[in-house]
Structures are given as C-alpha cells and as structure tokens.
C-alpha cells in the first residue's frame, strides 16, 4: 500500500522584483521547477500512479516528450513498480538519461502519437498494466489542483491573474478546479502556447476540439495535437485569455530569466514568461482585457527538463537560422517578382538593401 504522503512537495511562491519592474505590477513566481522531477507534472501523475498502485497495477507505461515520463519513472520507483516510457526520437539524450536513472525502461517512437499508440498497445496486452496519460484524467487534475490550494495559503489576497502554459490542458484543468475550490472563481487565467503547438487556442476559437496536423514548435512538451476535452469545457466556463507566442519569443526570455532569477527553464515555460518579456501583459491591459491597475499576477514556473545551457545555445542558433532563411526566401520571392515586372530603379535599390540586411 502506498504511503498517504504525496510525491510532490509544496513549492515556494515568491515575488520577482525583476519581473515586477518590467510588468509594472507585483509578479509572484510559483516555483514548480523545484519539484523533485523539475516540473509540476509530478503533482497530477503522482496522484494518478498512487491510486493505480492501490488498485493493483503491476507496471506503468507512458508516452511522453519528457516531463510526464520523468514524473512517471520517479513515482514508479518510489512505488516499486516497473515503468516503461515511450519517448519521441527528438527527446534530448539528457532527459532520456534521467528517466533511465530513475530505473525506467525507455523505448523510442518517431512521434508522440506513435509513442502513445505503442504504449497503449502494450497495456492492452497486459490487463494489470496501466497506461499513465500525461493529461486528461480526473486524477491528474486532482493532483494539479494542489497548486492553487498552496497559493491560497501562501498569498495574503487573491492574485489579479494567473499565467500558465498549455500543452494538453492538464494544468489548466487543475488550476481552474483549484480556483473554484479556493473561492477564487473570478481570477482570470492567461493560457500561453507557442505557434505550432497551439491546439488549445485553435479549439477555443473554433468552439470545439481541433487537432493540429503536425506539431512544429520547438516547445515540444507543449506539443499535444489535441487538448483534453475537459480543458476546453472548463475554459469556456472560466475567464481564460488564450495567447500564442512565437518560438523565438518563448526562448528569448529564458536567458534573461536565468540571469535575473538563476533559474533555467525550457521553452514550454518560456512561453509563460513571454507574457512579460514580449510586452504582452501591457497589450492586454491596453486592450482592456486586463485591468490597468492589476494588483498582482502569479506566473506558474512550470519548469521542465528538456534544457541545458548547451541546448539553449542550440535552440537560439536554430531559431536564428530559421529566421534568416525565412528572410532569404522572402527576398528571393521579391527578386523573382521584380525580374518578372522588370521596372523601377527605386525598387532595385530597396531590394538590394534588404538582401544585404539579411546577409545574402
């Protein structure tokens, strides 16, 4: 029988003078990066695994781009239950290594969808094995809810707004349910995603679940092609401001946050930080989507393992290359158009200037 103690820890909530100065309001950081597995995922997955162990599960199988898999491996080890984690080929070697260090067997698939299919096949063949979903199960929301209960204990008054990142919507479900239980139903949420992993934004806009054909964002842990049905339902009942940033915007704040707060986070979390670093918060205030005299905000520093200083450098290089390539293609298209029309010298000069600006 598993102990009644949860696997997650109570995380600190503290003010960031650096972000408060930039945002013009008191910014609190809920430091989920300080969980034993480096992200908030342990809250929901810990609760799920505990319940399943009590029900007699003999093996856990998960499909994950990183943090859910690591949380599963960690809980399985504590529960003395074997775990197999299917990860996409793109998962960084150091994340795979951490799962193995927790005693899990790691298998690979091309995409997260393929990993999910393989994991579910495995569970179908063994009736006492359990598939551990990364989101979308009530036990997972139940675990994530604890984040808000902690905030209520840690804050003197309710926050003006909560900022969080959305992948499959598990954290969003837990936070909305937690807000209801805390009697903070009127606290709005800014739900952040990156373009190319924006399945929640697309679904909310459409009013029904939308499946993205492909995940193209580098924030791979936000890469759920379809969000949980519950996430859409709850978001339609609560004040949720859905915002999407580009990959460069999600990455740009990471080194600044590291310098100021001494915390290294992955792009999935960088998407939430972009609310301040990209100036989005001010835009939302100007558009009257948030009050100008916002009293405070909480950013859930969801953390993440898919990052090292080396990986951060690689991401910056990759994004810069993609940006220059895009500019290059745009210049080429403009040149082709001009050749076709073959006119104005002014246009040639301006075109040459822009080709020079993008280094070609």
Ligand X SMILES: Cc1ncc(COP(=O)(O)O)c(C=O)c1O
Which residues make up the interface to ligand X (CB under 6 A)? 39, 41, 67-68, 134-135, 165-172, 221-222, 224, 266, 268-269, 302-304
Q: Which of 298, 297, 295, 315 is nearest to 306 (CA)?
A: 315
Q: What minimum distance in Å lies between the beta carbon of 355 and ligand X?
A: 39
Q: For residues 224 and 280, which CB has a smaller minimum distance to ligand X in the complex?
A: 224
Q: What minimum distance in Å lies between the beta carbon of 68 and ligand X?
A: 5
Q: What minimum distance in Å lies between the beta carbon of 96 and ligand X?
A: 15
Strands (E), the chain: 13-15, 26-31, 59-63, 83-88, 105-109, 129-132, 161-165, 189-194, 240-245, 296-301
- Contact between 108 and 89 under an 8 Å Cβ cutoff? The reply is yes
Which SS3 state, helix, strand or coil, does residue 303 take? strand
Q: What minimum distance in Å lies between the beta carbon of 288 and ligand X?
A: 27
Q: For residues 87 and 331, which CB has a smaller minimum distance to ligand X in the complex?
A: 87
Q: What minimum distance in Å lies between the beta carbon of 39 and ligand X?
A: 5
Q: For residues 166 and 331, which CB has a smaller minimum distance to ligand X in the complex?
A: 166
Spatial separation of the C-alpha atoms in residues 169 and 44, rounded to whole Å: 12
Q: For residues 16 and 220, which CB has a smaller minimum distance to ligand X in the complex?
A: 220
Spatial separation of the C-alpha atoms in residues 301 and 12, rounded to whole Å: 11
Q: For residues 294 and 303, which CB has a smaller minimum distance to ligand X in the complex?
A: 303
Q: For residues 134 and 248, which CB has a smaller minimum distance to ligand X in the complex?
A: 134
Q: What minimum distance in Å lies between the beta carbon of 298 and ligand X?
A: 15
Q: What minimum distance in Å lies between the beta carbon of 50 and ligand X?
A: 18
Q: What minimum distance in Å lies between the beta carbon of 113 and ligand X?
A: 15
Q: Which of 206, 229, 221, 233 is nearest to 271 (CA)?
A: 221
Q: For residues 102 and 294, which CB has a smaller minimum distance to ligand X in the complex?
A: 102
Q: For residues 170 and 196, which CB has a smaller minimum distance to ligand X in the complex?
A: 170
- Contact between 182 and 149 under an 8 Å Cβ cutoff? The reply is yes
Which SS3 state, helix, strand or coil, does residue 358 take? coil
Question: Across the beta sheet with 83-88, what order do the strands follow?
Answer: 105-109, 83-88, 59-63, 129-132
Burial 298-329, CB ≥16 within 10 A → b, else e: bbbbbbbbbbeeebbeebeeebeeeeeeebee
Write the CB contacts of 233 (distance below 8 Å, at least 6 apart in sequence): none
Write the CB contacts of 270 (distance below 8 Å, at least 6 apart in sequence): 219, 250, 251, 252, 253, 254, 257
């Amino acid at each position: 029988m598993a102990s009644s103690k949860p696997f997650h820890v109570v995380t600190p909530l503290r003010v960031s003078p650096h972000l408060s100065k930039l945002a013009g309001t008191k910014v609190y950081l809920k430091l989920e990066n300080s969980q034993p597995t480096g992200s908030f995922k342990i809250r929901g997955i810990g609760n799920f695994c505990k319940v399943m162990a009590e029900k007699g599960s003999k093996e856990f199988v998960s499909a994950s781009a990183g943090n859910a898999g690591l949380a599963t491996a960690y809980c399985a080890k504590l529960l003395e239950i074997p775990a197999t984690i299917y990860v996409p080929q793109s998962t960084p070697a150091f994340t795979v290594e951490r799962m193995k260090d927790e005693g899990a067997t790691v298998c690979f698939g091309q995409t997260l969808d393929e990993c999910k299919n393989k994991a579910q096949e495995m569970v179908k063949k063994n009736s006492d094995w359990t598939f551990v979903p990364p989101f979308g199960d009530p036990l997972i929301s139940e675990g994530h809810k604890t984040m808000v209960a902690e905030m209520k204990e840690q804050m003197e008054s309710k926050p003006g707004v909560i900022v969080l990142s959305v992948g499959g919507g598990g954290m969003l479900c837990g936070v909305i349910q937690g807000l209801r239980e805390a009697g903070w139903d009127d606290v709005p949420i800014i739900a952040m995603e990156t373009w190319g992993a924006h399945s929640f934004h697309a679904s909310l806009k459409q009013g029904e679940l939308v499946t993205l054909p492909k995940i193209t964002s580098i924030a791979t842990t936000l890469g759920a092609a379809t969000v949980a049905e519950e996430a859409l339902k709850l978001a339609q009942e609560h004040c949720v401001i859905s915002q999407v940033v580009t990959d460069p915007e999600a990455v740009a704040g990471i080194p600044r946050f590291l310098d100021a707060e001494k915390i290294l986070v992955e792009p999935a979390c960088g998407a939430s930080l972009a609310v301040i670093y990209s100036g989005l918060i001010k835009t939302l205030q100007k558009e009257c989507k948030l009050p100008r005299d916002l009293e405070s905000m909480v950013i859930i520093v969801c953390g993440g393992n898919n990052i090292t200083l080396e990986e951060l450098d690689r991401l910056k290089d990759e994004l810069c290359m993609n940006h220059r390539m895009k500019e290059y293609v745009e210049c080429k298209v403009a040149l082709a158009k001009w050749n076709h029309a073959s006119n104005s010298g002014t246009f040639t000069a301006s075109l040459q200037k822009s080709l020079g600006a993008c280094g070609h």
